[in-house]
Amino acid sequence: MSGDDHSREESEYLSNRPNVKFFCDVTYDPFLYMQDNHKTYGIVFFVDIGFTISLVEWEATIPTLWSTVKEFMHLHPEHIAKDNSMGFLSDNDGEGYNLCHFWSNFEIADMDFWRGEAYQAFFDFLESKGGFYYERWGDAPVHSIAAALFANKSEIHFFRDIGYRHDPFQHCPQGDDWSRGKCACDPDDSFGESEDLAERIALNGRMRL
C-alpha cells in the first residue's frame, strides 16, 4: 500500500482471507459506518489489538521493531496523535512493546490513512532499517502500531457485532449483538471478551510526548 499507484483510486478497503467463516447477518454497510462515524481503522480481532481479533506477536520474529519505532517517534513527534492508543501497545508508557496487535486477517481501513504523511514516513523509515527483509515485520504489527500511534482512539473501531472465524481463532458476538445478528456461533466459544479491546484502549493512558 505504500506508494502503490493501483490503490490511488480507492478510498477504503477490506482485508480478508480464504477459508474464513462469518457467523452473523450483517445488516448495515461497514464501509458507510466507518465513513459516517469518522473511523480510520476497523477490526474484528485484536491480539493482546478495523478488527475482530487481537493476538500477541512472536517476539523472536521482530527483535528490533520496537526500538526502531521508538527511534521514529523520537525523530517525528509531530506524527503522534494526541489521543493515541499507546496504552494498547505498551504497559510502561512506551518503553517496551507488550506484543499486542490487531489481527489484520480482517481489517477495514481508510486508504487515506495509509497514504498520509505520517504512515508514509513511518513505512519508509521502517524499510530503511531492513526489518521487512531480515526479520519478519509483518502487516499485523506494523498496521497495529501505526493505527495506535497515528490515529486517535475514537478513530479505531472494534466490530464486536461481526462473528468471524479464521482457524484456529474465532470471535462470536455477545448478548444483544448475538441476538440481533442471528449468529450461528457459540458465544462461549470466542477469543477473548468483546469488551477487552474497547476497555484497553479507553482506560489505558496515551503516550506522553
pLDDT in tens, the chain (209 residues): 445 554 455 678 887 778 889 999 999 999 999 999 999 999 876 554 334 444 556 788 899 999 999 999 999 999 999 999 999 899 999 999 998 888 777 889 999 999 999 999 999 999 999 999 999 999 989 999 999 999 999 999 989 999 999 888 889 999 999 999 999 999 999 875 544 444 444 444 443 33
**Strand 169-171, strand 164-166: pairing:** antiparallel
Task: Specify the pTM.
Answer: 0.83
Alpha-carbon distance of 58 to 188, in angstroms, equals 26
What cell numbers appear for 190 in the block? 470466542
Asked if 155 is an active-site residue, the reply is: no
What cell numbers appear for 90 in the block? 505498551
Q: Is the dihedral of CA 132, 134, 140, 146 positive or negative?
A: negative
Active-site residue among 9, 10, 71, 107?
107
**Strand 107-110, strand 52-56: pairing:** unpaired
Give the C-alpha distances (Å, rounded to integers) separating 203 from 87, 101, 206.
Answer: 8, 17, 9
Q: Are 72 and 124 in contact (CB under 8 A)?
A: no
Alpha-carbon distance of 162 to 23, in angstroms, equals 7
